[in-house]
Structure 1
Amino acid sequence: MKRNKINWTVPKGAELTELDKKVLYWQNKGHLVPRRSLIKTPEQIEGIRRSGVVNTGALDLVAQEIHAGMSTAEIDQLVHNYITSHGGIPATLGYEGYPKSVCTSINEVVCHGIPSEEEILEEGDIINVDITTILDGYYADASRMFIIGKTSPEKEKLVRVAKECLEIGMEAAKPFCFVGDIGNAIQKHAHKNGFSVVRDLCGHGVGLEFHEEPDVEHYGKKGTGMLLVPGMVFTIEPMINMGTWEVFIDEEDGWTVVTEDELPSAQWEHTFVMTEHGLEILTH
């Protein structure tokens, strides 16, 4: 059997802990396991949790204010002001050249939509608002879907099923199971409801940086991908499409991801910490 690279190492002379024994068991069987640095300390988890409180407050504010006739630039201003007034930094602002403090993705836009004064919300739109906050050096990342007024039954179902996919993915994530278990559960539920799962983007480790290991794909096979170990912090953020799973990036802005067939897409996201009993949400 071909072995994966060794990630989990025990300091020379150190006594093996129960955690070491469990991780080394799977590593010795050839599975991908995390590096020790991906296991957050209680202090780090508490810092990420505090960042999550600010991030959630920003999303709650959007939920109160969002309406037809509002520009996505107004959403950006709301989020920016809320995060900065609570001592945080909007993580997206200036990240690899991204120009705004939030991502606003309407209808066929899968993710990374750039807020604009010209983009006005209309009755029947569905929109994903994706916010990442840095507070005292700790990152928290979450997004929600909003339905503007009354929309079609098909869009309503898409938004509902996308949220169910997040919840089902969360339930599938157990300590000492694998990232692939999450993707497998999400893919089954999406397909059962006639939808597809975007494959070109994924969830990710988060906390001390914007993007860390592991990649959390929302499709795949059980028993594959990285071992899930207590203390790991990561997002699950399934992007569920009404039509094909294939996407393209808008050439004009280099950021906006759109469904290939331009049918609607929906996404929900939380930041989680793996505990000995399962996932805990850090972005309520």
Structure 2
Amino acid sequence: MLPTMKRLFNSLHALTGRPRVRPLWDRYAAGNQRLAKSIARRSAAERLKDQREQAPEASRLLRSLAPLIIQGANGLEIQEHLLNAYLERGWRPMLVGYHGYPAAVPVSVNYGVGGVIPTDKPIPESALVKVELIAGTPVSHLAQTWTFAGRNATPLQLFMLDKARLALRKGIEPVRHGARIDTIGDAISKVLDENDLFPIRELCGYTMGAQRVEAPQILGYGLRGIPSRGTCMEAGQVLNIQVLAQRAQVRTRVRGEEGFQYYTGDRGDAVVLSVMVEVTETGHRLLTEFVD
């Protein structure tokens, strides 16, 4: 194990106060690498067929977390819930070991944007809780992030979540064969601008194929004054479209030397939503679903 990973596991132990019994890295990292190579050898048609069948289940698993979050479950409990669900379905938690990441399910609360390592710290009642489901079936990659409102989420938090949902719906509308990928970010930006929300520019969506994350990137914002240009979408592509929004135009900061955990620069709330979308000749097909 690399020295930085040893330090990270030690810090995780300090954060959770629990003994490090068979870390997730030891249980999953090597097997995840083997599965990733196996998925890459599959044909595009095999992967897409599997994603059409399996992706809706990813959304259902995220939906099953809502009662836990309302009840105040902590990040480790959320992670354990999804790990058990993966096991039942023959999926693997593909984030473990990905570029050195040590956890299976990032759980980012309030000003956490993404990649935050889950702990046993209770989730506050006034919270926006972002859960990242990143899994591998024997045939394909699945990925969806959703933000859940805590039991006593504030009106402003609920407003942000509602407008992020709208931005995601609008971002999906331009998806079709031959359309430029930039039009997705343009549509998302329009909703955010109209509601005094700002995109988080340091992170973005992506295309999913032989690898979970492939080019071209899918920006969650438009480039002001620059008409849509560049890469066009192609039928059969799977896009992971993401809306990442905050209340102020500030840079996202990274915590920790490993560079995994992202937070808003002003400690203001963030919302992240994503869906997997298949590009078709005449439009698009949602693979994952809106969780709420």
Structure 2 residue 189 is the aligned partner of structure 1 residue 184 = no
> Match for 1:104 among 99, 103, 107?
107
Question: SS at the partner of 1:47?
Answer: helix
Moved more, 226-235 or 61-70: 61-70
Q: How much has 1:253 moved relative to structure 2?
A: 5.3
Residues 238 and 269 in structure 1, CA contact (< 8 A), matched pair in contact too: yes
Give the TM-score taking structure 1 as reference length.
0.81
Residues 58 and 83 in structure 1, CA contact (< 8 A), matched pair in contact too: no
Question: SS at the partner of 2:65?
Answer: helix
Q: Distance in 1 between matches of 2:72 and 2:171?
A: 34
Q: Distance in 1 between matches of 2:125 and 2:230?
A: 41
Residues 122 and 148 in structure 1, CA contact (< 8 A), matched pair in contact too: yes
Q: How much has 1:65 moved relative to structure 2?
A: 2.5
Question: SS at the partner of 2:55?
Answer: helix
Q: How much has 1:137 moved relative to structure 2?
A: 3.1
Q: Distance in 1 between matches of 2:230 and 2:190?
A: 17
> Match for 1:70 among 73, 96, 110?
73
Residues 209 and 237 in structure 2, CA contact (< 8 A), matched pair in contact too: no
Give structure 1 regions of 4+ aligned residues with deviation exceeding 3 angstroms.
40-43
Query: Structure 2 stretches of 5 or more lacking a match?
Result: 1-39
Q: Distance in 1 between matches of 2:68 and 2:282?
A: 37
Q: Which has the larger radius of gyration?
A: 1
Give 1:241's aligned residue: 246
Give 1:225's aligned residue: 230
Residues 51 and 133 in structure 1, CA contact (< 8 A), matched pair in contact too: no
For residues 146-177 of structure 1, the C-alpha deviation after alignment (integer angstroms, 9 at most, x for no partner) is 11112211111111111111111001223211
Residues 272 and 279 in structure 1, CA contact (< 8 A), matched pair in contact too: yes
Moved more, 168-177 or 59-68: 59-68
Give 2:269's aligned residue: 264
Q: Distance in 2 between matches of 1:49 and 1:103?
A: 24
Question: SS at the partner of 2:173?
Answer: helix
Residues 250 and 266 in structure 2, CA contact (< 8 A), matched pair in contact too: no
Residues 204 and 235 in structure 1, CA contact (< 8 A), matched pair in contact too: yes
| Larger helix share, 1 or 2 | 2
Residues 125 and 148 in structure 1, CA contact (< 8 A), matched pair in contact too: yes
Aligned partner letter, 1:242: R
